[in-house]
C-alpha cells in the first residue's frame, strides 16, 4: 500500500476499543431528541401529504420487496442519517435515474428533506423516518450501489462508543448490501471518529480504502456536496476527513 496510507494508518489505528462491543451483532438504540418544536404550516402539510407517498414501511419479518421500492435498472443509494437532507437531495437531483433512500430518526431533518423534495420535484427519493439499522437489515443482499454516512454523531465518551453507527455490525451489513464495485463514503470532522472508522475498515476485508495520497481524504470530491454539518465544522476550525471505500469483488 502506498506510503501515505501506511503512515496515516499507523497514526490512526493505535488504539483498539475491544471492550466496546461484546458482539458484532450489537445494534444500539437511537439516542437524542427525535421531536422538534413543530412544523410551520407548509412543512406540516408536506409531512401529512407527501411523506406517506414516499415513505418506506418495514416488514414485520423478512426482507423488503425491492421491486416495489425501486423501478428501473439502476441500483439504489442509501444515506444513513441524512440530517437536513442537503446531500441526499443534491444527489437525487443529479441522478434522477437512481433511487435515493434515506433514513433519519429526527423529525426536523425529515421535514427539511421533504421541503427539498417538494421544491426540486424529486420523484426518486424514499424516506424512512426512523433508525437506519432495521432498514439495512431488511434490505436484500446486494441491493445497494452506494452507502453514505456523513458526519454521524461521534459519541465522544468511551462509555458511549457502543452507540456509534460505524461498528463491526455496520461493516458486516455494508458488505452484504453493497454490490462489488460499489462504494461506501464516510465523513467526519472528529479525528477520533476517523481513527475509529479506519480501524473497523481494516477488519472488513471486503472494503479497500481508496486514498492514494493525502488529498484523497482531505479534499472533498466534486460529486460530494457540502452539508450544514461540514460548514459548521469548518467555521469552528475542524477540517473534515472524506473517506471512500470500494467494495471489492467477492472471492
- Residue with cell string 463491526: 168
Strand pairing category for 77-80 and 100-103: parallel
Cα–Cα distance between 3 and 67 in angstroms, integer? 44
Q: The cell 411523506 sits on which residue?
A: 51
State the Cα–Cα distance between residues 105 and 40, nearest whole angstrom: 19
Q: Please classify residue 69 by burial: count the beta carbons closer than 10 Å to its beta carbon, then call 0-12 exposed, 13-18 middle and 19+ buried.
A: middle
Q: Are strands 241-247 and 207-209 parallel, antiparallel or unpaired?
A: antiparallel
141 catalytic, yes or no? no
Per-residue b or e along 148-165, where b marks 16 or more CB atoms closer than 10 Å to that residue's CB:
bbbbbebbeeeeebbbbb
Out of 153, 192, 215, 250, the active site residue is 153
Catalytic residues: 153
Amino acid at each position: 500500500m502506498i506510503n501515505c496510507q501506511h503512515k496515516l494508518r499507523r497514526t490512526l489505528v493505535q488504539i483498539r476499543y475491544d471492550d466496546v462491543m461484546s458482539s458484532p451483532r450489537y445494534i444500539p438504540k437511537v439516542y437524542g431528541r427525535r421531536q422538534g418544536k413543530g412544523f410551520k404550516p407548509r412543512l406540516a402539510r408536506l409531512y401529512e401529504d407527501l411523506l406517506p407517498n414516499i415513505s418506506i414501511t418495514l416488514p414485520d419479518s423478512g426482507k423488503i420487496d425491492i421491486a416495489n421500492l425501486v423501478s428501473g435498472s439502476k441500483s439504489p443509494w442509501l444515506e444513513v442519517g441524512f440530517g437536513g437532507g442537503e446531500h441526499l437531495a443534491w444527489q437525487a437531483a443529479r441522478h434522477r435515474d437512481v433511487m435515493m433512500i434515506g433514513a433519519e430518526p429526527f423529525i426536523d431533518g425529515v421535514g427539511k428533506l421533504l421541503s427539498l423534495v417538494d421544491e426540486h420535484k424529486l420523484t426518486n427519493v424514499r424516506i424512512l423516518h426512523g433508525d437506519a439499522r432495521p432498514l439495512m437489515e431488511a434490505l436484500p443482499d446486494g441491493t445497494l450501489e452506494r452507502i453514505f454516512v456523513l458526519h454521524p454523531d461521534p459519541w465522544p465518551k468511551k462509555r458511549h462508543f457502543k452507540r456509534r453507527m460505524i461498528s463491526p455490525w455496520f461493516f458486516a451489513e455494508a458488505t452484504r448490501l453493497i454490490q462489488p464495485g460499489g462504494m461506501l463514503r464516510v465523513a467526519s470532522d472528529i479525528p477520533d471518529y476517523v481513527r475509529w472508522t479506519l480501524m473497523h475498515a481494516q477488519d472488513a476485508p471486503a472494503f479497500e480504502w481508496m486514498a492514494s495520497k493525502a488529498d484523497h481524504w482531505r479534499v472533498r470530491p466534486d460529486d460530494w456536496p457540502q452539508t450544514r454539518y461540514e460548514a459548521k465544522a469548518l467555521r469552528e476550525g475542524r477540517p473534515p476527513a472524506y473517506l471512500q471505500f470500494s467494495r471489492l469483488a467477492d472471492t
